[in-house]
Every structure is written in structure tokens, then in C-alpha cells.
Amino acid sequence: MVGTRPEAIKMLPLIVALRDSERFRPIVVSTGQHAALVEDVLAIGDVTPDVTFDLLQGPRTLNDLFSQVMDNFGRFFTERFGSPLSPEDAPYASGYPAAAFVHGDTSSAAAAALASFHVKLPVVHVEAGLRTSNTLSPFPEELNRQLISRIAAFHLAPTTRNKSNLMREGIDYGRIFVTGNTAIDALQLTAARRVPYTDPRLNELDDPNGPKVVVVTAHRRENWGEPLERIATAVGRLAESHPDVRFVVSLHPNPAVADTLTSHLAHVPNVLLTPALGYAEFARLLARATVALTDSGGIQEEAPSLGTPVICLRETTERQEGVDAGTVELVGTDVDRVVTAVSRLLDDELELSRRVKRENPYGDGRSAVRIVLALEHIVFDSPAPAPFGAGFDRASILGAGGSADPVAAGWTPAWSQRTLRPGTQPDELADLTDMAETQRIS
């Protein structure tokens, strides 16, 4: 289940990997929060949502969104699958879903997780264990992901730090699998697609010997109002002090965000204001950028994979790995701090070179394959995949979902032998399972 563009970006590699294995069939549900943006992202992998919820149009509060997603899910589930089955019977029912996958920390994801729990459907949390430990920063995402963690049966943590966060909250270590982040998979999925820019003004930036480029994005709810005013002021000062640098500001669709940035920066000659870019377009721009100035969580993960250091417009981050690795610097929204941090990278080639060469701690691009192999291990007791950081316990996950062991119960469906559709990478699957077997033997 996906609701926003960032969710779609990070779920796309997993949807494609599930689709390309005959053992599983994904049912893709768009909650309707950002329906058009979700469709655009999924189209990169030739994926179309099986259903898109029809949310009420117009201004919505967080409570409106939460209740509408839950109501729509309840109707969809009953119409598609009938009355909920018990966890003991569900694994053996033909055509009945095995689990609900939600990603990250949006209100759509939290609502979908709770709605799934209400029909006794085991929840798998992709990108689990990210924490700031401040429920108001980011708001409401921090509490959303903590809520999902209380519901989920299986936690797919990008890093070992994320696993430690979950264990400190009392989550059984056997229900946590460290996979790396599917954001890196998504970047690799789109890397070969040189899509054209919808804004032709961006084409002039393609020359690698051209001017330095600073990509700017800001959208987080806690930065609305005065913090966003400060961000815009900082970008204006940077543009004035660095007239040879191009500042590309990607405007969020929310008018409250776009109008503030536009009113401050539209008159600045070396600032290019562009409507929100498609994912593949933005990845192309991010790869060209010298620096990314952003409050986005996803960009903190993606930019270092492309050799672009990040100045983060937040006081805290749930992605501390990037800060520790030196790929991300937290500066908040204080104008002087923002100007100083960005200027250091624009003016000091040695410092920029150091940041560019730091290793990205978020993954190797094989997270989705690991997850599919983990699911096969849970359902069919096939070899466990080699983890990115730490493994999991099959029995613990089945127990958390309320299910007995289907293999021990003699359940052997006709499609229990793996066959691959065109587009799957069998060598990757073999590599990961071979690594797992080696670990078992040792």
C-alpha cells in the first residue's frame, strides 16, 4: 500500500521483485493521497495500481486523511476478499492476501497498517526502525512510524542502527531483518533511463564543465511558516554571494510551500524555480548537483549514492547514519548556519572532495531481492538470504502474525518451486542464497 510519491519510489523495487517471482503476486493499492504522483513513479517499472482509493477532494486534516484511508481500505478488503479470516486459516486460503506491506512513516502508511491489523492481516514494515525520539520532529512522521512498529509482525530495517532502535523499544530481534534501503535499489532502477526534462531550462545544466549547481527542496510540515521564510532568505543570500552558481529550487505542489519560495526568489537571476520534477528527472538533476540543500529524508539517502553531499534543513534526523558517515550535515533553518554550510562546500574544493568521497551507508541496491528471499524463507522454509547487516528468525515472524508453520503443516502449493519471469536477475538471487548457505555451514 502506497500513498505518497516517496513511498512509491521506495516500494517500486519491491513491487517489481515480487512481480518477477512466480511465488508471489503483489496487489498494489494506492491510498489516493498523491494518486497522480504515485502512478507516475510506478510507471517507471511498468506497474499500475490495482486499486486507487477515492479520497474526498479539497483541504484535509490529518484526521480526515487517516479516517478516509481506513474507511476505503475496509470497503476494498471486504469487496475483494470477503470477511476476514483468522490468522490460522488465512495462509491456506486461495486468493487471500498473505500480508500487508506499508512503507516508512506517512499518515497513509500508519492508517493502512492499523486498518490491516483490524482485519488480522500481518503487517510488514518496510524502512522500519528510523527514529528521532522526538514525536514533534518530524511531525507527524515520528509517531506514525512508532505506531506502525507496534503493529508490524516483520520489520525490514535499512541499517543495524535501525534494528537497535527497534530492539530498545522491545521488538524481538528475531522479527527484524536488516536489508539496506530500497531507495538505493530505486536509484539503480532508474539510472539507465535518461528521461528528458519537462522544464527545458534544465537542459543547460547538463554540461559537466558548466556552473556549479545547488538543488533546493523544502516541504516538511515543521518547516512551514517562519522556518520556510528563513530557508528562502538563505537561498537568496547564497545566490547573491555566488552569482556563478545556479540554484535550482524544485517547488512542492503544496501552495503553502511553493508560494513562499516563489515570492522570495522569483526575481533572483541565478535561481531557477521549477515545478516538482518526476522521480527519474530529479535523480538526473541530483546526479548533476554540487550540493543538495533539503529537508527531505529520501534525498539524505539518495544523494550520497550519486556523489552529492547534503546540507539538511532540519535540527534532527532519523537518518543519523549519513551524519556519522559525513554525507549529511544538519544545519536547521537558521539563515547564517545555512549560508555558512553551503558556502563552505561551494568555496572549498578540498572539503567538497572529502564529502563526495564518503561511503554511502544506506545500501548496495539489492534490498528488494533480499526481501523477496526472506519472504520465501518465511512461507516455504527455503534458504534464508544473506542480510545487509543482521538476520531474522522465521518462527518468530510466523508467530507474530498468528500463523502456524505452513510447511510443517504439510502445505505444498503447486507453485512452490521458484520460477522467474523475464526481467528477474537470477544471478543476484543465486548470489544471495549461496552466501546464506555458506553462513549456515560456517
Report pLDDT digits (tens) over 213-226: 999 999 888 888 99
pLDDT band at 435 (very low <50, low <70, confident <90, very high): very low
Mean confidence (pLDDT) of the chain: 89
pLDDT of residue 90: 86
**Which residue of the set 7, 20, 141, 142 is catalytic?**
141
* Phi and psi angles of residue 148, each rounded to the nearest 5 degrees, phi first: -60, -35
pLDDT of residue 192: 62
**Which residue of the set 105, 281, 295, 321 is catalytic?**
105
Kindly report, residue by residue over 99-152, the tens digit of the pLDDT: 999 999 999 999 999 999 999 999 999 999 999 999 998 899 999 999 999 999
Q: Which residues contact 362 (CB under 8 A, 6 or more apart)?
A: 158, 159, 180, 181, 183, 184, 301, 304, 305, 319, 321, 322
Residue 6, C-alpha cell as written in the block = 516517496
177 pLDDT higher than 70:
yes
pLDDT of residue 116: 98
pLDDT band at 190 (very low <50, low <70, confident <90, very high): confident
pLDDT of residue 413: 55
* Cα–Cα distance measured from residue 48 to residue 28, given in angstroms and rounded to the nearest whole number: 8
Say what percent of the chain tops pLDDT 70.
92
Q: Does the annotation count 302 as an active-site position?
A: no
**Which residue of the set 219, 230, 246, 284 is catalytic?**
219
427 pLDDT higher than 80:
no
Q: Does the annotation count 315 as an active-site position?
A: no
pLDDT of residue 92: 79
User: What does the pLDDT average to over 63-69?
Assistant: 97
pLDDT of residue 20: 94
Q: Does the annotation count 75 as an active-site position?
A: no
Q: How far is CA 106 from the centre of its chain?
A: 10
Kindly report, residue by residue over 285-306, the tens digit of the pLDDT: 999 999 999 999 889 999 998 8
Q: Does the annotation count 127 as an active-site position?
A: yes
Kindly report, residue by residue over 229-270, the tens digit of the pLDDT: 999 999 999 999 999 999 999 998 888 899 999 999 999 999
User: What does the pLDDT average to over 7-18?
Assistant: 97
**Which residue of the set 60, 80, 237, 252 is catalytic?**
252
pLDDT of residue 359: 83
184 pLDDT higher than 70:
yes
Check residue 195 and report its DSSP letter. P
Kindly report, residue by residue over 370-421, the tens digit of the pLDDT: 999 999 999 999 888 876 766 788 999 999 998 888 888 777 554 444 444 4
**Which residue of the set 127, 281, 302, 329 is catalytic?**
127
Kindly report, residue by residue over 20-60, the tens digit of the pLDDT: 997 899 999 999 999 999 999 999 999 999 999 999 887 88
* Cα–Cα distance measured from residue 370 to residue 367, given in angstroms and rounded to the nearest whole number: 5
Domains delineated in the chain: 5-181+364-441 (3.40.50.2000), 199-356 (3.40.50.2000)
pLDDT of residue 429: 47
Residue 369, amino acid: V
Residue 161, amino acid: R
Measured over the CA atoms of residue 263, residue 266, residue 271 and residue 272, the dihedral's sign is positive
Say what percent of the chain tops pLDDT 90.
70
pLDDT of residue 425: 47
CB 391 within 8 A of CB 205: no
Q: Does the annotation count 376 as an active-site position?
A: no
pLDDT of residue 389: 64
Global confidence as pTM = 0.81
Give the DSSP per-residue string, 284-346.
Answer: HHHHH-SEEEE--HHHHHHHHHTT--EEE--S--S-HHHHHHTSEEE-TT-HHHHHHHHHHHH
For cell 539517502, name the residue. Answer: 301
User: What does the pLDDT average to over 317-340?
Assistant: 95
Alpha carbons within 13 A on the beta-carbon side of 33: 27
Q: Does the annotation count 105 as an active-site position?
A: yes
pLDDT of residue 220: 87
**Which residue of the set 80, 221, 337, 358 is catalytic?**
221
